[in-house]
Amino acid sequence: MPPETTSSRIKRDRAATRARLLDAARLRFARDGFDGTSVRDVAGDAAVDPALVFRYFGSKKKLFDEATAVPEPAAELFGGPREELPARLLGSIAFQDWPSHAGEHPLIAMLRSSGHAETRERLREEVCETYVRALAELTGGGPDGDLRAELFSAWMLGIGVLRSVIGTPAITGATPEDLEPHLEKVIAALLERG
């Protein structure tokens, strides 16, 4: 194996520094939102000079956009049995641990920053293009199929917000098994099995 060159070491260090900044930003934005997070906070958490945030990301807004990007939906989320999709979606939003985002779904960081028009638009696109679209296929169509898919999405996101942002005792203490009979009732009311 050839010895490491100075150039490759610098590239590796740059990549590691950028990754540390991104990790620190994900946690800060998830906890404190856009307005509650400063470039200095993120740089301090990553143990680097704040100027590096601008060098690697250009602006706080660009750092936020990259840090709050929702990962592509996993194949197991949308690739499993169709009739189990609502339970998988609810599990992803309300019960899955997202350690890179302070334990919460990346949508929660965007919700905490929804006072910004651009963030609201990103959030709307993410919810509509990922969750509502998938659920609309389970409604059986009809004139109110999209409405029913959005109502189910609102129910799921509401559970996620009550668990992670507000921390209401009953929902925070609930397990997926506790929610299962209620999930079945909401599915029966809004979606079709098929």
Any bridge partners for residue 98, and if so which?
103
Percent of the chain surpassing pLDDT 90? 38
> For residue 29, is pLDDT > 60?
yes
Does residue 151 sit in the same domain as residue 171? yes
Residue 1 placed within a domain:
no
Domain co-membership, 57 together with 102: no
Please check whether residue 144 lies inside any domain of the structure: yes
**Across 117-123, average pLDDT:** 87
Mean pLDDT, the chain, rounded, equals 85
Q: What global pTM score does this model have?
A: 0.74
Residues 81 and 175 in one domain: yes
Number of domains into which the chain is organized: 2
Q: Which domain holds residue 93?
A: 75-190
Residues 49 and 63: their CA atoms lie apart, in Å, by 15
Tell me, yes or no, whether 178 and 144 share the same domain.
Answer: yes
Same-domain status, 62 and 152 = no
Backbone angles phi, psi at 72, to 5 degrees: -55, 135
Asked which of 31, 48, 67 is the last residue of a domain, the reply is 67
Q: What is the pLDDT of residues 64-96, one digit of tens each?
A: 989 888 776 665 677 788 888 898 888 888 888
Residues 130 and 182 placed together within one structural domain of the fold: yes
Compute the average pLDDT of residues 108-131: 84
| Model confidence band, residue 113 (pLDDT cutoffs 50, 70, 90) | confident
Q: Are residues 101 and 180 in the same domain?
A: yes
What CATH number is associated with residue 20?
1.10.10.60
